[in-house]
């Protein structure tokens, strides 16, 4: 499953809009990826700060 590095995430919303499974949730300062993630990698490609990686 992919994960979002909270220290790099700027909560811009790019990944949230791209996720086909709605597996990304909004936090106060950063986003997180839930167990609904199917590892498609769509979020990785759109993250402008490279905060998403395979976990």
The counts of H helices and E strands in the chain are 2, 4
Round the average pLDDT of the chain to a whole number and report it: 95
pLDDT of residue 33: 97
- Return the H-helix or E-strand segment holding 46: helix 42-46
The domains located in the chain, with CATH, are 2-54 (3.30.70.20)
**Mean pLDDT on 31-50:** 97
Please tell me the distance from the alpha carbon of residue 33 to that of residue 45, in angstroms, as a whole number.
Answer: 15
Question: Token pair for residue 4?
Answer: 């979002």
Provide the whole-model pTM: 0.88
């Amino acid at each position: 499953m992919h994960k979002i590095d909270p220290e790099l995430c700027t909560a811009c919303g790019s990944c949230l809009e791209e996720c086909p499974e709605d597996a990304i949730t909004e936090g106060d300062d950063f986003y997180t990826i839930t167990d609904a993630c199917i590892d498609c990698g769509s979020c990785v490609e759109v993250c402008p700060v490279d905060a998403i990686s395979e976990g």
